[in-house]
Amino acid sequence: MRNAVASGSMYPADADELSGTISELLNKAVVNPKDIGNAVAYIAPHADYKYSGLVAAHAYKALSLSKDLFKVDTFVIVGPNHNGIGTRISVSKDSWQTPLGEVEIDNEFADELLAMSVGMLEDEEGHRLEHSIEVQLPFLQSIVKRPKCCFISMLDQTEDASRAVAQDVDAVRKRLNRDIMFIATSDLNHDESADIAMEKDTPLLEKLSAFDTKGFYSELNNRRDSACGFGPMAAAEQYSKQRKARTGKMLKYATSGDVTGDRSSVVGYASMAFA
């Protein structure tokens, strides 16, 4: 079992405190159900809950309002590999522990993904010290009873890799006849002013909304945006396009400066739904 590495630092380690924190954040998040329709994928940030928790809560509030939530068989959560440890695309088969309990892996889905993919490998080291997927789980556990999951960590975040992840997940979905919810996690531009962050982040998010993968990577490179999970974001967009989603809806954009009051050096955060 993979033990939590971010509890007590990025979110509360005490189960009751954690449940209270998430409940408060979900209550504060305002989402119009008409904006999300039957969403097939979401994007949420993964920083300390003090800074990005409210933005993340918008994605999970939207997910909680889905009339088809009870139909979801497997939650595929894709995050970046910040640490550079492990394989280029790592799939976990361990169950994961958070203060809210154990999160079960859909091993049949993971096994099929590993069998058919040329780029993914079973690799727990790529996940062991990585926080990006972990911080999604208490939110998910708060709205879904005993979710079954598949976790993918992307060290390789190239356009080709993001496309391959989307295609492989969709192929396994069809092969196993699974109802899948795809969740990607990323923070956006780092350590510049709030104005610069918005100037850099907005065109990227617009390209995702328009299902323009090449344009997204072009904006990312040309603007030197330091989004850390650009590969997972692109994978969510590509997966949604394959599922015939019509639009990417912005649920919430903010920066750490909106919490700290210091707008001189911030990190950008966004939640999106593809429906």
- What tens digit of pLDDT does each residue of 68-77 get? 899 999 999 9
Q: Please compute the mean of the pLDDT values over residues 79-102 and round it to a whole number.
A: 97
One-letter amino acid at 144 equals V
Instruction: List the one residue out of 273, 267, 272, 271 whose CA is nearest residue 48.
Output: 267
Residues in a beta bridge with 117: none
pLDDT value at residue 34:
77
Percent of the chain with pLDDT over 90: 96
Residues in a beta bridge with 122: 91
Q: Is the pLDDT of residue 33 over 90?
A: no
pLDDT value at residue 38:
87
Q: Confidence class of residue 37 from pLDDT cuts 50, 70 and 90? A: confident
Q: Is the pLDDT of residue 191 over 80?
A: yes
Cα atoms in the 13 Å half-sphere on the side-chain side of 127: 27
> What are 208-229's pLDDT values in tens digits?
999 999 999 999 999 999 999 9
8 Å CB contact between 109 and 74:
yes
C-alpha distances out from residue 197 to 28, 29, 45, 55, 190, Å: 24, 22, 15, 16, 7
8 Å CB contact between 235 and 166:
yes
Strand segments, DSSP code E, in 115-240 are 121-122, 148-154, 180-185, 190-192
Structure pTM? Answer: 0.97
Name the token pair of 39: 């969403």
CATH 3.40.50.2300 is right for the domain spanning 15-274: no
Q: Which residue has the tokens 């409940």?
A: 23
- Chain centre to alpha carbon of residue 60: 10
